[in-house]
Each structure stands twice: as C-alpha cells, then as structure tokens.
Amino acid sequence: MGGIGANRENPGKFFYENLMMGTQLMDEARLRKLEKFVAIGTICAYPKFAAIPFKEDDIWSGYPEETNAPYGLAKKMMLVQSAAYREQYGLNSLFLLPVNLYGPRDNFDLETSHVIPALVRKCLAAKKGASATSRVGDGSPTREFPYVDDAAEGILLATEKYNASDAVNIGAGMEILIGRSVPLIAELTGFNGEIRWTPPSRTVSRAAA
C-alpha cells in the first residue's frame, strides 16, 4: 500500500497481494478454528462520492476512487468473506476500517508515503536549503488523522467487545483541512520558509493559516 503515486504505479500488485493475504489468512483462521479473527480494511474501500464523514452504511453505495480502487476493493473482499464465513462456518470475524493514521515509524518515502509523513519529509528537506516547499492542490481537501496509538486502542477494544461482521470505522471523529495541517507541520518541524500552493495563484504562508 502507499500514497496516490504508489497506487497509480502498482494497481495490479496492490490488488493481487492484498486479496491473497486477506483471503488466505481468514481461511486459515477458519481451518484452525480461531476464537476470533480481526481483519483490518481501509477507507479506500468507500465509494468515491460517499458523504463525509464516512458512514458504514454507505460502504456499498458506489465505486471507490479510481486511483485507490484495486487496493480498496481487494481489502473490501474481507468484509464479504467475513459475513460468508460467519454464516457458513461460524467464524467470529471483524472488519475494521482505520482512517489516515500517523505516528512513529511511519513511511517517509516521498514516492509511497501518505500526507503527514510526506509533508514532514518535505519540510525537513526544505530546512536544509530550499526557500519554499510546495504541495499539490489548493489546500481545500479535508482528512481525518487519528494517532496510531489511538487506532491501536480502538482495534483492541473492538477485538475484546465486538462480535459481528458489519464494517466498523476507527477514526478520530473529526477532520482537518489540508490547508491548516500543512502550516502546522511546518511550524512543528521548524520550517520558516514560504509554503507555495498549486495552482500558483494561491500562496499561503505559515502566518496566514
């Protein structure tokens, strides 16, 4: 898995490997008669035009965003498998959907990373010589960014207390504009330069956010 660039370059790889991992792991759980199996999905499984914030009831209301669809659909097959295996074999399995996580030991590779680690990497690199850092887009999209420890706690609580095959979101319950998160990351990393947005007509400095 990875960010937009990685999904565009590896649609077949991400589809096949995620489908095989999920399907075979859950089947092994059945064969070994595990007490409970916890499948971790992805919000890329949600329809492209699903209402924000995502509601679990909307997960089948349309096709995912095309860039992430192979990965998202492969992961969503565990939701189908969970319900089918519960009905036929009595396997107690869950399907949890964490949103955009961040935290220690994140992926900081600019080719494959998600929003927050990519911005941290760009700001730190800019501190070493660049006078400005750029971000594709105009800052208007919103994202939900739970801390990884909080998500781990949510997964543990679901494992202990939840016993159904319906999808369950794990998130912070609030969203932040990318246009606000970028200046905040710049401040926290000590980057004092200019933040240039695209399209070029919009330039946002740290002080303006």
Confidence at residue 76, expressed as pLDDT on a 0 to 100 scale: 97
Residue 128: CB atoms within 10 A of its CB come to 6
The structure's pTM equals 0.74
| Total count of domains within the chain | 1
Active site annotation includes 89: no
* CATH number, domain containing residue 90: 3.40.50.720
Are 14 and 7 within 8 A, CB to CB? Answer: yes
**Cα 90 → chain centroid:** 30
**Residue 136: pLDDT over 60:** no
Mapping DSSP onto H, E and C, the string for 30-50 reads HHCCCCCEEEECCHHHCECCC
Confidence at residue 162, expressed as pLDDT on a 0 to 100 scale: 95
Q: What is the pLDDT of residues 10-62, one digit of tens each?
A: 999 999 999 999 999 999 999 999 999 999 999 899 999 988 788 999 999 99
* Domain region containing 119: 4-208
**Residue 201: pLDDT over 50:** no
Over residues 118-146, the mean pLDDT reads 71
Q: Which residue among 16, 46, 63, 71 is the active-site one? A: 71
**Residue 173: pLDDT over 80:** no
Over residues 202-208, the mean pLDDT reads 35
Confidence at residue 41, expressed as pLDDT on a 0 to 100 scale: 95
**Residue 154: pLDDT over 90:** yes
Confidence at residue 124, expressed as pLDDT on a 0 to 100 scale: 82
Strands 37-40 and 167-170, how do they pair?
unpaired
